[in-house]
Chain A
Amino acid sequence: KAGVTQTPRYLIKTRGQQVTLSCSPISGHRSVSWYQQTPGQGLQFLFEYFSETQRNKGNFPGRFSGRQFSNSRSEMNVSTLELGDSALYLCASSLALRGLNTEAFFGQGTRLTVV
């Protein structure tokens, strides 16, 4: 069974640009969550999508957005990039039977560098 796939693995962008990251969850999983990992702030929750709807949102500015498609694949977008957006972005996939999340499996992450 394939794991959680995130693409691309590495990205370098310039300040002011926008970026889109992709996450393909484990087959059959309906919940996808996104996290930002930085040395200073650690792992912080961005948002969660379940059945194409945003179910939960963290404390990030509106420049961070996401969506989920009918096949459960998810994308997150960051507009007007700032240097502080440089981070490892991790996606987590959960089966979410009856909407209840138990195990969450993470992808390898996308390393975003903003210059």
Chain B
Amino acid sequence: GEDVEQSLFLSVREGDSSVINCTYTDSSSTYLYWYKQEPGAGLQLLTYIFSNMDMKQDQRLTVLLNKKDKHLSLRIADTQTGDSAIYFCAVNTGNQGGKLIFGQGTELSVKP
């Protein structure tokens, strides 16, 4: 079945850029998402990209998609301490309705 992999931890300094990476196995994945989860909270949708796109930019967030390598990344520019959270990559294959397959999550720690 579909598998989504992320590294577990990332630590950066405030003001630096953060890059969170994700790989997936199903080449038929149609929508790919990034969610943020803060302690004790639900998932906040940050951004998503359709599989026919290579890049999407939204303010401080840049998503890059390499379909050949099945690799998705999220770059956060000018990272702030408020960005400290767990970030999840998720994929949806159009023929499976609303089913999302999630990675394990990357815990981002931003040091002042």
Q: Which residues of A contact B (CB under 8 A)?
A: 4, 6, 31, 33, 35, 42-43, 45, 48, 50, 55-56, 58, 90, 92, 94, 96, 99-109
Interface residues of B (CB under 8 A from A): 31, 33, 35, 41-45, 48, 88, 90, 92, 94, 96-105
**B35 x A94 contact (CB < 8 A):** no
Distance in Å from the Cβ of A84 to the closest Cβ of chain B?
19
Chain B hits for A105, CB < 8 A = 45
A63 to B94, CA, bound (A): 28
C-alpha spacing A57/B100, complex, angstroms = 11
Q: Which residues of B contact A55 (CB under 8 A)?
A: 97-98
Is B105's CB under 8 angstroms from A56's CB? no
Chain A, Cβ-Cβ closest to B33: A104
In whole angstroms, how far apart are the Cα atoms of A108 and B39 in the complex?
Answer: 11
* Selected contact of B31 from candidates A6, A35, A42, A102, CB within 8 Å: A102
Nearest Cβ in chain B — how far from A110, in angstroms?
10
Of the candidates A31, A43, A99, A107, the one whose C-beta lies within 8 Å of that of B102 is A43
Alpha-carbon distance A91/B42, docked complex (angstroms):
9
Q: Are B100 and A45 in contact (CB under 8 A)?
A: yes
* In the bound complex, CA of A6 to CA of B41 (Å): 12
For B48, give its contact among A31, A96, A100, A103 (CB under 8 Å).
A103
Shortest CB-to-CB span from B42 to chain A, Å, is 4
